[in-house]
């Protein structure tokens, strides 16, 4: 994010936002600073922490806000698109995120500003993590229980909302983004980096599962449909407490939220926990069982009494999204070594290690999709 647009932040802009955040109409903003937190893979998205001090009836009070800046190039303009760039804005402005089922919450939104250049600024509550960056497996179970309660509410008590900005067929569209890169990828496997990303012993199964992707996606469409976040991985989740001291999971980044199958929200929770959050491969099966068991408890608490095998199918079949993860982006890294330095910095690994990690994860995903195939046969 360039400095010039951030210069538009001034006292007049901040004062009502800070007053809302602190719950006081008498706070006067004294000073502030802006720190970039991170930017997403999507081009044009950036997130900043804006913090400072204020005076309130003779007292000095600290304050902080999170500013998320969306640009049109960060996604599509059409509300029905899987990557509609203002979906999170519409979700906040609808008021829906203020009334989520118990256990799962979104940060409070203090204001949305549309700018003449097409950018949109969302001013959000800063969420503070309660238990640290490295969660024990038991906490992943608690999160899964909260997600089960959230998903279950829209299977039992709450009707599926019909807002036009909600995503639909998100998993199908997400996987479909890789289609143009599949044939060029086949050709790139003669290159050293291509063989490193997709070793020869894995290529036949990889391309066979690509050809069969609709088999798994169709099965997901036949499962009970609920509201899914679709991006519930560790970096988007915070362990918090409510005002009454109850455990709560706060989820950020609602850019993909929409209708989807039961169990699918568990997939990023587990697999990105392995890929990005420090959970070891030796803990995968234990983590899966903890997450599935607690998610089912959350569903039962919400009143859903369906077949647990449907949950397992939703979880396993949704692995198709990570087997074909933005193939075009990976193809670019295979073909152009000049892109490696930036990717290595983002991943914290040398490029060979990044590719090896993808290959290791891919082999595990092969197993998951074979489990899904068995479950499809059992459930018909």
- Residues with Cβ within 8 Å of residue 339, at least 6 apart in sequence: 332, 333
CA distances, 54 to each of 23, 173, 320 (Å) = 13, 46, 49
Q: How do strand 237-241 and strand 247-251 relate by DSSP bridges? A: antiparallel
DSSP H helices in 303-339:
308-317, 320-323, 327-335
- Residue 61, beta-bridge partner list: 54
Q: What is the pTM (predicted TM-score) of this model?
A: 0.93
pLDDT tens per residue, range 103-162:
999 999 999 999 888 899 999 999 999 998 889 999 999 999 999 999 999 999 999 999
The total of other beta-carbon atoms located within 10 Å of residue 165's CB is 19
- Report pLDDT for 78: 87
Distance (Å, whole) CA 165 – CA 190: 42
The helix/strand/coil state of 177 is: coil
Contact call for residues 262 and 295 (beta carbons, < 8 A): no
Question: CA 65, CA 366: separation in Å to the nearest integer?
Answer: 42
- Residues of the chain where predicted confidence (pLDDT) is lower than 50: 1-4, 41
Q: Which of 115, 279, 56, 209 is nearest to 268 (CA)?
A: 279
Q: Do residues 213 and 171 make contact, with C-beta atoms less than 8 angstroms apart?
A: no
* Region of residue 132 (phi > 0: left; psi between -120 and 50: alpha; otherwise: beta): left
Specify the pLDDT at position 2.
45
Cβ pair 311, 261 in contact under 8 A: no
For tokens 């402005």, name the residue.
93
Pairing of strands 247-251, 104-105: parallel
DSSP H or E segment with residue 47: strand 46-56
CA 336 to chain centroid: 28
């Amino acid at each position: 994010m360039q400095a010039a647009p951030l210069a538009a932040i001034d006292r007049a802009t901040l004062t009502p936002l800070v007053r809302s955040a602190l719950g006081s109409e008498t706070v006067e903003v004294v000073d502030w600073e802006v720190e970039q937190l991170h930017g997403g893979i999507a081009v044009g998205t950036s997130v900043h922490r804006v913090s400072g001090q204020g005076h309130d009836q003779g007292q000095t009070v600290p304050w902080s806000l999170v500013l998320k800046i969306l640009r049109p190039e960060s996604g599509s303009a059409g509300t029905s698109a899987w990557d509609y760039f203002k979906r999170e804005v519409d979700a906040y402005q609808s008021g829906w995120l203020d009334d989520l089922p118990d256990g799962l919450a979104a940060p409070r939104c203090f204001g949305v500003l549309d700018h003449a250049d097409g950018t949109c600024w969302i001013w959000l509550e800063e969420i503070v993590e309660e238990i640290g960056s490295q969660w024990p497996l038991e906490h992943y179970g608690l999160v899964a229980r909260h997600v089960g309660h959230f998903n279950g509410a829209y299977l039992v008590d709450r009707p599926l909302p019909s807002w036009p900005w909600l995503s639909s067929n998100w998993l199908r569209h997400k996987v479909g983004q890789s289609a143009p890169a599949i044939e060029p990828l086949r050709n790139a496997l003669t290159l050293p980096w291509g063989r490193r990303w997709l070793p020869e012993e894995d290529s036949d199964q990889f391309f066979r599962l690509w050809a069969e992707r609709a088999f798994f996606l169709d099965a997901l469409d036949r499962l009970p449909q609920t509201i899914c976040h679709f991006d519930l991985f560790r970096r988007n989740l915070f362990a918090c407490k409510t005002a009454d001291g109850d455990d709560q999971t706060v989820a950020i980044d609602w850019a993909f939220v929409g209708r989807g199958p039961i169990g699918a929200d568990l997939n990023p929770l587990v697999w990105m926990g392995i890929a990005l959050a420090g959970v070891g491969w030796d803990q995968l099966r234990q983590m899966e069982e903890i997450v599935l068991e607690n998610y089912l408890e959350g569903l039962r608490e919400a009143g859903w009494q369906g077949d647990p095998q449907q949950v397992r199918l939703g979880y396993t079949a949704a692995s198709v999204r990570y087997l074909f993860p933005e193939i075009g982006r990976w193809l670019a890294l295979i073909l152009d070594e000049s892109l490696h330095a930036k990717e290595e910095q983002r991943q914290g690994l040398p490029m060979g290690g990044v590719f090896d990690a993808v290959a290791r994860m891919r082999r595990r995903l092969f197993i998951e999709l074979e489990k899904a195939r068995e479950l499809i046969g059992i459930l018909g």
